[in-house]
Structure 1
C-alpha cells in the first residue's frame, strides 16, 4: 500500500492482534480488532477477491466493539482448504466452524460476497444474535445494472482458468484490469479517496492463492444471492445498502429486506458497491444503532 489511508489516524488508535486457527484442514489467518473485553463481538467476512484489510475503514469507526476479521480460505494470508472445492457450501461450512472455534455466539457481518457466505451460514445453523449485511448481493449478478460487465467477467475468469497456468494467473492478476474494475465501482468525487481506493485494490485484490480457488469463488459469487437464504433467517438482520450500487440496485435491496422475518434496511446515498471505503462512518453508525453500542467518550 503506497497511498495513506484517510482513516489511518483512527486505525492507529485501534488495538490489532493477528492469530491463526486450523479450520477444515486449512490454516485461517484472522485479526482481532478493538478491546478484548468488549461487550460486543463481531465476526466480519470480506467480499470476493478482497481480504480483511478492506473492512478496516468500517472497523475504525467501531472502536468500542471487538471485531474478528478473517481472510477467506484461499485469499490474503489464509491457506486454501485442502482437497475441497471452494464453493458456497464449503465457505458457509468453514464460517460455521471458524465462528464456533474463535467467537461462538458473535454477531455475524458480511460484505458483498461475504453477505452470501454469512447468510448461507446463518440459514444453515450458525448461531448468532444478529446478522449484518453490507452491500448485500440481493439479486442475481447477471441481472444487475451492469449485467453485461458481469458477463464479461464470467468470460474473463473462464479464460484465466483455461489458459496455461502461468499465462492464466498473470491475466487474473493484471493490474490494468484491476484498475478498470476499481474505477467502475468508485463513485466518490474526492480525488484523494479515489487514489486510496485504487491503491487498496492494487495492493490486495490479487492476493488469491491460485486460479482454481479464484474460479470457484467467482462461480459461487455469481451463482447465488442472499434471497435464497433470507426466509430461513429468523434473527434480526441489518442491511446497509447503497443507492448507486451497480451490482444490486436499491429496488432489489428493498425487495430483499421484505423477505426476512425481522430486517432493518439502511440506505446510503451517493455511494455504490464500496460503502466500506467511501462511507464507512455511515455504515458504522448504522451498525452501532442496530447493536445498541454506546459511543465511548473521546480521550
Structure 2
C-alpha cells in the first residue's frame, strides 16, 4: 500500500546491495543521484527495516541516501558469534559507514538514534548527525512506561517458550497491530491504514527470536543521553509533541546535553514522524544539511 501523499522512492538496485560486515551480510539500498552534494547513511528503528524511512527519502530527492537493514532484520543476517548489544551495533555502523559511505551524514530514527549516537560518540567520522524521534530518556520511564514493561514480559515469554511457540508469539499479527494502533496519532483513516499496513508487512521480518530479544534489550537498556556529551558534531533533533516513548520535556533536556544541537518540534504527532509527518521532517533535514553541502561529499 503506498503512502497517501508520498510516492515510494526508487532504489538504484531494487533488490538492494550486499556487503559483509563483522562476519554477517548487511543488505542496503541506495537512493538519489550518485553525484549528490550530500550523502546520508540512515538507520531505521526497532523491528523495522529500510522501508520505514522511505517517505523521508522520497521527499529529499536531491540527497543520496544509503539505508541498510539492521543486523538480523529485513534482508540482513545476524552478526555471527556476537550478542546484538550496543557495542555490536556501534561497531557495525562504524564498519558500514567506512565501507559504503565514508563521508556520509548519519541519520537515526528511534532505536536507530541510539545506534547512530553510540557510533558517532565512539569515533565514527561524520560531519553532522540527524536524530528523528530520538530515545532521549529510559523507555521504562516514558508516558507509556507500563506498556514498555508489558513489552518486556512479552519478549521474555517469547524467549523462554519452546522455539516454535516463542517464534509464533513474537510474530503474532494481533500484537503488531496493537502496537501500531497505540503509536499512531493521526485521525486520517487513509494514513492509519498505511501505517498498519507497513507494520504488518515489515515488523516481523526478523531472523529469529534471539536477535529480536537482544535488540529489544539493547533498545530499552540504552538511550541517547549517555552519548550526547561526546558528540561534537552539529546535531539535529526532530522530536514529536505527543511521543509516547520520550516526552517533549525530556527531549528539550536532551538538547542541552549536546555541545551543538538544534531542536525541531513537530506538533500533533507521536513516535511515527517518519510515517505521519515526513514532510516536516524532510524540510527540517533539508535546512540543516544545506549549509554543509559542500563539505559532505
- Do both share a fold (TM > 0.5)? yes
Aligned to 1:216: 214
Q: Return the alpha-carbon distance in structure 1 between the equivalents of residues 195 and 166 of structure 2.
A: 25
Say which SS state the counterpart of residue 230 (structure 2) adopts: coil
Asked if structure 1 preserves the Cα contact closer than 8 Å seen for 2:11 and 2:29, the reply is no
Aligned to 1:297: none
Aligned to 1:205: 203
Aligned to 1:158: 156
Asked if structure 1 preserves the Cα contact closer than 8 Å seen for 2:46 and 2:216, the reply is yes
Q: Return the alpha-carbon distance in structure 1 between the equivalents of residues 157 and 189 of structure 2.
A: 33
Of 271, 277, 283, the match for 1:279: 277
Aligned to 1:175: 173
Q: Return the alpha-carbon distance in structure 1 between the equivalents of residues 157 and 291 of structure 2.
A: 46
Shift of 1:5: 2.3
Shift of 1:7: 4.4
Say which SS state the counterpart of residue 161 (structure 1) adopts: helix
Q: After TM superposition, list the pairs within 5 Å mapping 1:96-245 onto structure 2.
A: 96-245=94-243
Q: Deviations over 1:13-45 (max 9, x none)?
A: x45322111000000000001111101000000
User: Residues 20 and 7 of structure 1: is their aligned pair in 2 closer, same or farther, counting only changes over 3 Å?
Assistant: farther
Asked if structure 2 preserves the Cα contact closer than 8 Å seen for 1:110 and 1:132, the reply is yes
Shift of 1:293: 7.2
Shift of 1:6: 2.0
Q: Deviations over 1:212-240 (max 9, x none)?
A: 00000000000000000000000000000
Asked if structure 2 preserves the Cα contact closer than 8 Å seen for 1:64 and 1:293, the reply is no
Aligned to 2:12: 16
Say which SS state the counterpart of residue 96 (structure 1) adopts: helix
Shift of 1:8: 5.0
Q: Normalization by structure 1: what TM-score?
A: 0.95
Is structure 2 residue 80 aligned with structure 1 residue 82? yes
Asked if structure 2 preserves the Cα contact closer than 8 Å seen for 1:115 and 1:226, the reply is yes
Say which SS state the counterpart of residue 258 (structure 1) adopts: helix
Asked if structure 1 preserves the Cα contact closer than 8 Å seen for 2:6 and 2:59, the reply is no
Aligned to 2:295: none
Asked if structure 1 preserves the Cα contact closer than 8 Å seen for 2:84 and 2:214, the reply is yes
Structure 1 unaligned blocks of 5 or more: 295-299
Q: Normalization by structure 2: what TM-score?
A: 0.96
User: Residues 188 and 293 of structure 1: is their aligned pair in 2 closer, same or farther, counting only changes over 3 Å?
Assistant: farther
Say which SS state the counterpart of residue 86 (structure 1) adopts: coil
Q: Aligned pair count?
A: 290
Asked if structure 2 preserves the Cα contact closer than 8 Å seen for 1:7 and 1:60, the reply is no
State the Cα RMSD in Å: 1.1
Shift of 1:241: 0.1
Say which SS state the counterpart of residue 91 (structure 2) adopts: helix
Asked if structure 2 preserves the Cα contact closer than 8 Å seen for 1:242 and 1:267, the reply is yes
Q: Return the alpha-carbon distance in structure 2 between the equivalents of residues 265 and 16 of structure 1.
A: 32
Q: Return the alpha-carbon distance in structure 2 between the equivalents of residues 257 and 52 of structure 1.
A: 27
Q: Return the alpha-carbon distance in structure 2 between the equivalents of residues 101 and 41 of structure 1.
A: 14
Q: Return the alpha-carbon distance in structure 1 between the equivalents of residues 22 and 164 of structure 2.
A: 28
Aligned to 2:26: 28
Asked if structure 2 preserves the Cα contact closer than 8 Å seen for 1:185 and 1:246, the reply is yes
